[in-house]
Structure 1
Amino acid sequence: MLWVKALHIVFVASWFAGLFYLPRIYVNLAMVEPGSLAERERLLLMARKLLRFTTLLAVPALGLGLWLWLGYGIGRGTGWMHAKLGVVLLVVGYHHACVLLLRKFERGANTRNHRWYRWFNEAPVLLLLAAVVLVVVKPF
C-alpha cells in the first residue's frame, strides 16, 4: 500500500505542476500582439505539449487514488474523503476547462484578457491546498 500511496503522491504533484504552468502559457498567449504569428504558434505548441503530458500524468494519479480508496479502503465512509472527492472532481473540471481554453486559442476565439488568466491560474493552488488539508488534517 505504501508504494501505491507514494506513486499517487508523485503523480498528483506532477499533474498539478502542469496545471500550475499551463495557464501561465495562456497568460502569455492572451498578451501576444496580433501580428506575432511565430510567438503565438510557439506558445500554442508549448501549451499543446504540456496539456498532453499533464493529461498523461492525471490518469495514473486518478487511478492510484481510486486504488487507495476502493482497494485499500482509505477514507471509506468518512466526511473528509467525500469532500476530497469533491475537490478531485473540481480539479478534473479545471483540467477540462484548460482543454476548452486551449481549443479557443487554437481557433483564435479567445475573448479573455491576460488578467483573467492570471486569476484563473490561482484555482489549482487553492484546490491543492484544500486536498492536502482534507487528507492530512481530516477535519471531519
Structure 2
Amino acid sequence: MLWVKAFHIVFVASWFAGLFYLPRIFVNLSMVPPESVAERARLLLMARKLFRFTSVLAAPALALGLWLWLGYGIGRAPGNGWMHAKLAIVVLVLGYHHACGVLLRRFESGVRQRNHLWYRWFNEVPVVLLVAAVVLVVVKPF
C-alpha cells in the first residue's frame, strides 16, 4: 500500500504543478499584443503541450487514488467524513482542469474574453484546492 500511496502523491503533485503553471501561460497570452503573432504562437504551443502532459498525469493520480480508496479501503470506514469532502475537492480539481482546457481552446480560436487580472485570480484556485485536500487528508478534521 505504501508504494501505491507514494506514487499517488507523486502523480498528484505533478498534476498540480501543471495546473499551477498553465494559468500563468494564460496570463501571458492575455497580455500579448495582437501584432505579436510569433509570441502568441509560442505561448499557445507551450500551453497545448502542458495541458496534454497535465492530462496524462491526472490519469494515474486518479487511478492510484481510486486504488487506495476502493482497494485498500482508505477513508471508507464510518466516521470518515473527511474523505467525502476530499472527493468533492477532487471533483472540483477535475472541473478546474476541464476549465483550463476550455480556456485553452478559446485562446486557440482567438477569442479574448478576459483580462490578465482575471487569469491571475483564476491561477490561485488550484492552490486553495490543494491546501484543502492536504489538510483534509493529514488532519482528518471530521
With the shorter chain as reference, the TM-score category is over 0.9
Name the residue aligned to 1:70: 70
Taking only the aligned residue pairs, the percentage that are identical comes to 79
Which of 102, 105, 113 is 1:103 aligned to?
A: 105
Residues 75-97 of structure 1 deviation map (CA, whole Å, 9 limit, x = unaligned): 01410000000000000000000
Partner-residue secondary structure (3-state), 1:22: helix
> For residue 92 of structure 1, what is the amino acid of its counterpart?
L
Distance 1:79 1:100 in 2: 32
Match of 2:91 in 1: 89
Task: Give the Å deviation of 1:36.
Answer: 0.4
Output the aligned Cα RMSD.
Answer: 0.5
The whole-number CA distance in structure 1 between the counterparts of 2:139 and 2:118 is 32
Instruction: Please report the TM-score for the alignment, with normalisation by the length of structure 1.
Output: 0.99
2:114 pairs with 1:112: yes
Match of 1:48 in 2: 48
CA distance in 2, matches of 1:102, 1:110: 11
Structure 1 outlier segments of 4+, above 4 Å: none
Q: Return the letter of the residue paired with 2:18.
A: G
Gaps of 5+ in 2: none
**Alpha-carbon distance between aligned partners in 1 of 2:89 and 2:113, rounded to the nearest angstrom:** 28
The count of corresponding residues between Structure 1 and Structure 2 is: 140
